[in-house]
Each structure stands twice: as structure tokens, then as C-alpha cells.
Structure 1
Amino acid sequence: MAQKPVLISGAGIAALLLARSLQRARIPYRVFERDASIVFRAQGYRLRLSPEGLDAIEAVLGPESFQKFYDNCGKTGGAGFAAIDPLTGETLGGQHPTVSSEALTSREGKIVGISRGNMRTLFMEGCEENVRWSHHVVSYELTDSGVRAIFADGSKSEEGSLLVAGDGVKSAVARKLSDGKIKVFDLGSRGIHGQAPTTAFKALGEGVFRFVDETSNPAGKVFLITNVRPDEMNDPNVQFGWTLGASPRVIKPPNEDYTIVGKPAADIAKSLTASWHERVKPLFDNMNEKESAFWKITCSDPEGVPEWKNEPRVTLIGDAVHAMTPAGGNGANTAVRDSALLGRLLAEAGGFKEGLTAEYEKEMRVYGSAAVKASYGQAESSFGVKIDASTQLLQGEYTAPN
């Protein structure tokens, strides 16, 4: 009998890296993504890869494919964040409170990063024929010997041996599987991602920079992070990105629609930084407005990944099980660890077997919970966010269909 495929909901970085793991192990799989293509939506800010994240990616891709991936990553000198006062343009040092002691290097003494879009494209190589676009998974049903994904139009997938949800913070599969125990909170803080030609960054020099403005906006703190890579500085085909964030209620997208892209986001970014120094202003004066996009800060319960009754045929990876704030860069690195772990267990077993998802979830809960707690703690101190009784629940409740 032909082996039933592993069904994967979502085509984000965790889902596509798991697909690569299954492809390499010659285990059949299908990926279902609600978007119409890989370039359907804005790809978000640049991701910094930790030693653990790089190790996980290397374990999945193997030596040759990993080298190609690593060659596509940007490498920046410096051990951690350098701080620039956005109002004076002064480079700060010593024990200034905005200078982070966080170590950012991961390999060869360099800070390694890559855009989310490039990462997805590289992970998907060789998997294209198994990706089904415009397939929005909204639920699942168990069969006598497998599982089927249920799509938004009411149709169902072929029978699979296992369903893995890697479809983000609003995963319907996660809500059903955990019976609402996985809770994701909207922390009320919004940000803006932008891009500008490399020439706009020349006055900064090489490094990963953090700017913090605590005085010019009465509503609260505004901060910016960017990465200047000297090897790409003179390439006219490259644009560097920056990420602007703020305390809750400082950045307000029109109609609270954070999916808006383009000029509305660019205009707010320029307004919030109008008083910033001429050393920094080129990042906004020369920005590619059409690439501007809002993002919101969400986080799973900082108490960690909850326990739920294990379902052998269904499990979760990435933001679907442990959503994190951008503080500390934990989210993507933890997501690829999920893919590497689950992919290894499936490869060692030659496909699905009883007890496999329980083994995966037991190990994932340990490092996943630690990462969520660390991410929330850093966001609490950096962004001024707080989960309390008034915090809006983005995802959690689950009501079984009639």
C-alpha cells in the first residue's frame, strides 16, 4: 500500500522547512496554504538567526543545500546592538540604558540574518509540486486510519497519516486540537516595517543598531532597529530594512487594520520620526513607500506551552503553538527547531507511528515554553507591554461545531 502523506497546514518558514525534511527523507507530504502564491503578502522584517536556529536549518538541509542557504544570508560584524540617539545622532556607549548586552553573533563571529521572503523561497526549493496554494485549512477530521484537512470551501484533503499545523497565530487546527488552551494575546503594540536604498544607511556604518526615542512623542516610546551590512552597501539591487516599534497605542493603523501596506504606513513612520537627527532621517526620507507595512505584537501565554490531550494524528509547529514578540528574535529560531525535531522523528520512524507526536510535543514544550517566557520578558521591559485582565485575546476560545 502507498504510504499516506503528511499533511501540512500553512507555508511559512516552519512548514516549508518541515516539507524539506520530509522531501529529504522521501516521506510523502502535501502543503496547503491559504495565500495564492509565495509573494502574495508583505514578508515582514529581517530575521536574525541564532546558533540554535542555524543548527536546526543545517540539520534539515544537509551540507550542500545549507551552504547555499548560508551564502544567501547577510553577515554583519559586531557582537551586539550599537545604540544611536535618534534626536542627536550621537553613538552611545558605556552603560547607557539603551545599549543592549545581548549577544547576537551566531557563526564565524558574525550576526547572521535573512529576510523572511528569501528564507521561504530557499526552503521551498524542490518542494514546489507538493504545495497547494489557495487552500485554507479551517479544521480537520479523524478517520479510522488517518486524518483529513477540511478547507474553507467545505472540501476535504486526501487522507493523510498526520496533520501538522504550521499556519500561524490564528490556526484553527491549534484552537481545536488544544480545545482553546493555546492562548495568543494582542499586546496592543504596533510597528512599521520599511525599506530604503543602501545609500540611506551610509552615515550609520556597519552594525546592528537600536534607536530609542523616549521624549518626543507624548503618547510613549518609539524605537527602531536596523542592520547595516557592508558587503552589500554598494549593490544597487539591495535595499536595507528597518523595523519601527512603539509602546501600546502610539502607532495606530487606519481603522486598526494592520494588514494595510504602502503609503499609510510610510506616512505614520515619517510623522513619528519627524524630529530625528539628519544622520537618521535618510532612512525615512528615501524609503520605498510601497514596501511599508504594519505589524502587531502578539504573544502566547508567557506561562508557556500548555498541556492538552495528545492526538497522535495531529500536532503543531511554529507560531501555531508558541507565538512570540519580536523581542530577542526567538520566534523564527524556535519554529525551525520544531521543524528539525519533528522531521527527524518522522525520518527515523520512516513516517508516522504511534507515540511520535507525544514524543515531539514533550520535548517541544520545554524549549518552546522557555522561548516564550524570554520573549515576553524582553518585550515587557523594552516595549512597555503587559498581559493582564484587560489584554485582548487574539486566539483561545474554541466552540465545537454543531
Structure 2
Amino acid sequence: MSANQKPILIAGAGVASLLLAQSLRLSKVPFRIFERDTSFVFRAQGYRLRLSAEGLDAIESVLDPETFRRFWDKCGQTGGLGLIQLNAVTGEPVNQPSQAPRGVQNALTSRDGKVVGIARGDMRKVFATDCEEHIEWGREVTGYELTPDGSGVRVTFADGTKSIEGALLVGGEGIRSRVAQQLSRGRLKVYDTGARGIHGQAPTAAFKGLDEGVWMLRDESRADGVVSVITNVRAKDMDDESVQFGWTMVGQPGVIRPPNEDYTIVGKQAADVAKTLTKDWHPRFRPLLEQMNEAEAAFWKITCSRPSGVPEWPNEPCVTLIGDAVHSMTPAAGLGANTAVRDSALLGRLLREAGGCKPGVTAAYEKEMRVYASEAVKLSYSTAARQFGTSIDEESTPTV
């Protein structure tokens, strides 16, 4: 690579951005990351992610062997019978594993018939290896400016300053990406499905009523809508008192209501809502709530990009998008993070093969990304519609 090569600029320091940074580092392509936070902060929302075969393959294709080994060692491998649904009130099975939707079942298992998962914070730490010196903290990205000749780009920040000139800007700063809005001319939309969730975690002792596997506890007895909890029980960690397993609660629109509709609440108030919603659940499952780490409970809105798929916009050779900035998904089917790391691997490979940002790279990336990302968004949305009762009208549903 040329010593005076302009760097790749990356907005956001999330999972997809950091994996792209790893790819660029190994290809010796210079880069800078601009992150709104002032340091790595692993929030309560940093719940465990399940990795599909495609997601795991994408990560392995980017990382060097030593870093991938460290990543793999952080992952948990869960056996069992796949996704099993239980009636949360009676404790009885809702359906057999073979009845799980094919797309969901395929997304769950990745290698050797096992479910592979990792905490978002742990993934972010590994992906940040040897990259932190290239991160500028406390830099909130508000947009970008192209150079007069169109050969470069600068990031604009909330404090009125601008970045150095880059060869390419990659917007990876999540569902409220300002880069995405500017690049797509407003075509990219993220809809509020109305469904709400709570993330929580509890010590392994609370999960003794469940065997190894991925479980969905589903309560259809409520008059105001269905509430469900999904969790992953890893056998090898069950006897380690220092380990906590996470769970994710989802309620149909109108069921989960944080105080004053404040979704920034973390801690006891969120935990109390979760406990109230599950007070009539079977004793086998009550410990998940009764023994939860209240400080880690957090509310969240369930959002989704256009169910019809990733829209097109006029290609800009110096700007593109990855991850939730371009395709936000519901938690149903576990496809969001897996699709995001596929973006990172694909874009990183194209940049490596081209020797940096060259004409045609962003067009080639976006053409391929739109195909698999649109399929993933559609599957995520259709699964959420079945499980959570969500519905999006692309003309009238509120956006975030």
C-alpha cells in the first residue's frame, strides 16, 4: 500500500465496524474510527449473540488464526435439540423442535450441530485487538462532505469540526446513522414495530430447571398480548458460579411499558416490570426472574428496516454503509449481527483485492449486500410477525 494513501474513515465502533477495521489492519489499509462514546462501555444491552454458519465463517475469514482462536475460546457451544418452546405458565412443550421454522432453525446452529454464541461485549473486545490506537473517542458523526473533485470525503462532527480527508467513509453507527440518512437521501427507514423487550441475566443456578439447549418460554394467557423469553443454557458453564446466563423478554405491542415510556431506564425498574409480567409463570422458570441481576435489566424497542428489503440509492464511490445502519432487524431468527459481520467481511475483502478504495468497490459491495441483507430482513420481520405480533406498513408505521 502507498505510504500516503488516504485512510478509510469508519463511523461507529460497534461489532461490524471493528471487524472491518481488523480486515483493513491485516490488509495494511490505513483507517480511522470515530466513536460517539468516550470509551468502550459494555452496556446492559450487550446481550449474548448467536452466530450462524454464515456469520461464523465471515468472522473466521477476516481474523488472523491467533485472534480467531481467542474469539472461539470466548464462544460457548450449546448442544441440545435446537429451539424448544415451552408454555411459560404450565411448563408443557408448545411444539417439537422439528416444528421450528426452517429459517430460524438454520440460523441457530452453526458448527457440528451446536449453537455458537458470544456476549456482544466479548466480541467487541476481541475485534478491537490492535485497533484501539486508531479510534477517536467522543466524536459524534453528523454527516459528511465530499471533496470538490469527488475523490475524497471528510466526516463532520457535532462540535462543528471535520475529520481528515479519507478515501472512503463507512457508516456503521447503528439505526440512527446520520451517514445512512444522507447517503440514501432518506430512503433508508427504521420502523418502530411497537413490540418491546427487556434484557436480563441471572446466575447459572437459576437455570437448573432447563437442560442444555435454546429455550423459548411463551405465555399466551394474557389478555393484552403474548410475552416470551428466550435463553441459551450451556451445559459446560452450569457448575460455574461466576457465570451468568442472559435472557431476552419480548412482549407484543402494548404489553411491556417502561415508566414514562423511558427506554433509557436500566436497573431495578426494568427488573420489576419483568417480574410483574411473569408472576404467574411455572415454578420451573421463576428463578430466572427471581434471581436476576437487577442492575443489568434494560428496556429496548424492537425495530426493523423496510420489510421489502434494502432499497437502492445512487451509488457514491466514497461512501457506503454496514450493519444496522443499512439493515436493522428484529431479534427474531437471530440474523442481525450475523448479517453485519458478513458486510464487514465482504467490504474488507473487496478493498483488499482492489488495494484500497478504488472505483467500483462500493457499487460491487452494495449490489451483493442488498441480496443477502434483504433476505435476512424479510426473514427476521416475518418471524417477528409470527412470534411477537408485529406489523409494519411502510407508508404509515412510525419510524425511529
Q: By the TM > 0.5 criterion, same fold?
A: yes
- Normalised by the length of structure 1, the TM-score is 0.95
Q: Name the aligned partner's letter for residue 80 of structure 2.
A: G
Q: Name the aligned partner's letter for residue 88 of structure 2.
A: P
Stretches of structure 1 lacking an aligned partner (at least 5 in a row): 395-402
> Following TM superposition, by how much is the alpha carbon of 1:95 offset from its aligned partner in structure 2, in angstroms?
8.4
In the other structure, the counterpart of 1:400 is none
In the other structure, the counterpart of 2:114 is 110
Quick check: 1:327 aligned with 2:329? Answer: no
Question: Pairwise mapping of residues 3-402 of structure 1 onto structure 2 (< 5 A)?
Answer: 3-39=5-41, 41-94=43-96, 102-103=105-106, 104-143=108-147, 144=149, 145-215=151-221, 217-388=222-393, 389-394=395-400
The separation in 2 between residues aligned to 1:386 and 1:344, in whole angstroms, is 36
Distance 1:95 1:56, change over 3 A: closer
> Following TM superposition, by how much is the alpha carbon of 1:121 offset from its aligned partner in structure 2, in angstroms?
0.7
Deviations, residues 42-82 of structure 1 (Å, cap 9, x unaligned): 34321110000000000000322212211110110024212
Q: Name the aligned partner's letter for residue 152 of structure 1.
A: A
> Following TM superposition, by how much is the alpha carbon of 1:190 offset from its aligned partner in structure 2, in angstroms?
0.6
The separation in 2 between residues aligned to 1:39 and 1:252, in whole angstroms, is 26
Aligned residue pairs: how many? 392
Query: Is the CA contact 2:84–2:97 (under 8 Å) kept in the aligned structure 1?
Result: no
> Following TM superposition, by how much is the alpha carbon of 1:93 offset from its aligned partner in structure 2, in angstroms?
4.8
Query: Is the CA contact 2:44–2:199 (under 8 Å) kept in the aligned structure 1?
Result: no
After alignment, is 248-257 or 188-197 more displaced?
Answer: 248-257
Distance 1:65 1:209, change over 3 A: same
Q: Name the aligned partner's letter for residue 370 of structure 1.
A: E
Q: Indicate the RMSD between aligned Cα atoms, in angstroms.
A: 1.5
Deviations, residues 297-344 of structure 1 (Å, cap 9, x unaligned): 101111111110011000000000011111101110000000000000
Q: Name the aligned partner's letter for residue 120 of structure 1.
A: R
The separation in 2 between residues aligned to 1:63 and 1:245, in whole angstroms, is 37
The separation in 1 between residues aligned to 2:98 and 2:361, in whole angstroms, is 49
The separation in 1 between residues aligned to 2:315 and 2:309, in whole angstroms, is 17
Query: Is the CA contact 1:81–1:100 (under 8 Å) kept in the aligned structure 2?
Result: no
The separation in 2 between residues aligned to 1:153 and 1:218, in whole angstroms, is 49
Q: Name the aligned partner's letter for residue 194 of structure 2.
A: G
The separation in 2 between residues aligned to 1:230 and 1:263, in whole angstroms, is 29
Stretches of structure 2 lacking an aligned partner (at least 5 in a row): none
Query: Is the CA contact 2:45–2:199 (under 8 Å) kept in the aligned structure 1?
Result: no
Deviations, residues 323-376 of structure 1 (Å, cap 9, x unaligned): 111110111000000000000011111111011101100110111111111111
Deviations, residues 281-304 of structure 1 (Å, cap 9, x unaligned): 000111000000111110111111
Q: Name the aligned partner's letter for residue 212 of structure 1.
A: R
Percent identity between matched residues is: 63
Secondary structure at the residue paired with 2:301?
Answer: strand
Secondary structure at the residue paired with 2:44?
Answer: coil
Secondary structure at the residue paired with 1:359?
Answer: helix
Distance 1:94 1:49, change over 3 A: closer
The separation in 1 between residues aligned to 2:360 and 2:227, in whole angstroms, is 47
Secondary structure at the residue paired with 2:19?
Answer: helix
Distance 1:35 1:224, change over 3 A: same
> Following TM superposition, by how much is the alpha carbon of 1:245 offset from its aligned partner in structure 2, in angstroms?
0.4
Deviations, residues 177-221 of structure 1 (Å, cap 9, x unaligned): 000011110111110000101100011111110111011x22100
Query: Is the CA contact 1:324–1:376 (under 8 Å) kept in the aligned structure 2?
Result: yes
The separation in 1 between residues aligned to 2:292 and 2:97, in whole angstroms, is 32
The separation in 1 between residues aligned to 2:232 and 2:96, in whole angstroms, is 21
The separation in 1 between residues aligned to 2:358 and 2:396, in whole angstroms, is 43
After alignment, is 251-260 or 198-207 more displaced?
Answer: 251-260
> Following TM superposition, by how much is the alpha carbon of 1:246 offset from its aligned partner in structure 2, in angstroms?
0.8
The separation in 2 between residues aligned to 1:163 and 1:218, in whole angstroms, is 49
